[in-house]
Amino acid sequence: MELALSLGDNTKKQFSFLEMNSKINNPSASSTSTSDKDLGFCMGLDVAFGGHKSLSSSSSPSVEDEKKKPVPRAKLSDGIRVSSPVDPPLQLQLHFPNWLPENSPQGGRTLSGAAMVAEEEEEEEEAVPSMSVSPPDSVTSSFQLDFGIKSYGYERRSNKRDIDDEVERSASRASNEDNDEENGSTRKKLRLSKDQSAFLEDSFKEHSTLNPKQKIALAKQLNLRPRQVEVWFQNRRARTKLKQTEVDCEYLKRCCESLTEENRRLQKEVKELRTLKTSTPFYMQLPATTLTMCPSCERVATSAAQPATSAAHNLGLSTSSLIPVKPRPAKQVS
């Protein structure tokens, strides 16, 4: 059995970044509305939870795809623009997002492909003010803080994750110029600020998954790396699922207890009825030819069962096998 989770209206397609940003700029507006209790969890059974790509429409062009093939891709996602057949191969100047140090040695690096497209899209969009929510002395994420990106020695160097890592390592090297204690052998854990977390929570309420464009835009607004936003959403989905699983387990546990109790009660009743049946004379066990109604509870029973059920009533026992009918004067019915 799979569990369902509803996190609001998935039909909405766009983040309301500006609105959320205004919330960020006005801290008194939100931060209490981001707890899980406000997420509007809904529980259901027999409905698939998530699933691969079930919530995502992201089949967008990747950096490598566009690097390798400047020809257009067949499908687009959520407004991601790719070059048309008449577009020349892209060879654009990379505009580093503001989560990179300004003095990055990578500045001016030239790339082509979807990353460029994405960056261009970013530039084309209205200038969304980037978020600077961390206090100056905060230990939270800002690319100016130390980045201890562990060198994991990836085998493949072609997927997007690796590219992100490469960018991060580049940034880390740049950052290390100002931070001598970083030796690259340990990974530093950066904690997001409350505002950043609240902003991400708001985003998560709208979409539990992000397409690349949304991810980049969100990262830009929060002064985070896209990879951080991606990881945050992954972990957030995992937490949501875990929490929902706990709720479902509690519900099923209660159901099980209730059914166990009901079963126990019915077993007891059957046992009592059998005891009564064996103790009644044979002539009272003849097959029913008429229906009789119990005067006390106004339920109808067959005449064969009636003596036993009446006795059961007299004993104060429940008789779930009786058929409830609308109230009538106690009399025989043919």
Partner DNA sequence: TGTTTTCTTTCAGTTACATCA
Partner DNA sequence: GTTGATGTAACTGAAAGAAAA
Contacts to DNA by CB under 7 A? 50-53, 55-56, 58-60, 62-65, 68-69, 71-75, 139, 141, 149-150, 152, 154, 158-161, 165, 168, 186-192, 197, 209-212, 227-228, 230-232, 234-239, 241
What whole-number distance in Å separates Cα of residue 131 and Cα of residue 128? Answer: 9
CB of 268 to DNA, least distance (A): 40
Pick the closer one to DNA by CB: 82 or 273: 82
CB of 236 to DNA, least distance (A): 7
What whole-number distance in Å separates Cα of residue 78 and Cα of residue 139? Answer: 35
Pick the closer one to DNA by CB: 20 or 163: 163
CB of 107 to DNA, least distance (A): 22
What whole-number distance in Å separates Cα of residue 311 and Cα of residue 65? Answer: 82
* CB contact at 8 A, 190 and 145: yes
CB of 309 to DNA, least distance (A): 51
Q: How many CB atoms lie within 10 A of CB 283?
A: 7
Pick the closer one to DNA by CB: 93 or 235: 235
Pick the closer one to DNA by CB: 222 or 305: 222
CB of 85 to DNA, least distance (A): 11
Pick the closer one to DNA by CB: 245 or 263: 245
Pick the closer one to DNA by CB: 60 or 203: 60
- Burial grade of 122 (CB within 10 A; 0-12, 13-18, 19 or more): middle
CB of 27 to DNA, least distance (A): 18
What whole-number distance in Å separates Cα of residue 142 and Cα of residue 41? Answer: 32
Amino acid present at 90: L
What whole-number distance in Å separates Cα of residue 14 and Cα of residue 75? Answer: 19
Angle at 212 between CA 134 and CA 243, to 5 degrees: 70
What whole-number distance in Å separates Cα of residue 192 and Cα of residue 184? Answer: 21
Amino acid present at 29: A
CB of 93 to DNA, least distance (A): 21
CB of 208 to DNA, least distance (A): 7
Query: What token pair was written down for 150?
Result: 């562990």
Amino acid present at 200: L
Query: What token pair was written down for 284?
Result: 């009272």
Scored b (16 or more CB within 10 A) or e, 237-255 reads beebeeebeeebeeeeeee
Amino acid present at 326: K
Pick the closer one to DNA by CB: 64 or 121: 64
Query: What token pair was written down for 245?
Result: 């699983």
Pick the closer one to DNA by CB: 13 or 150: 150
Q: What is the dihedral of CA 320, 323, 326, 331, to 10 degrees?
A: -110
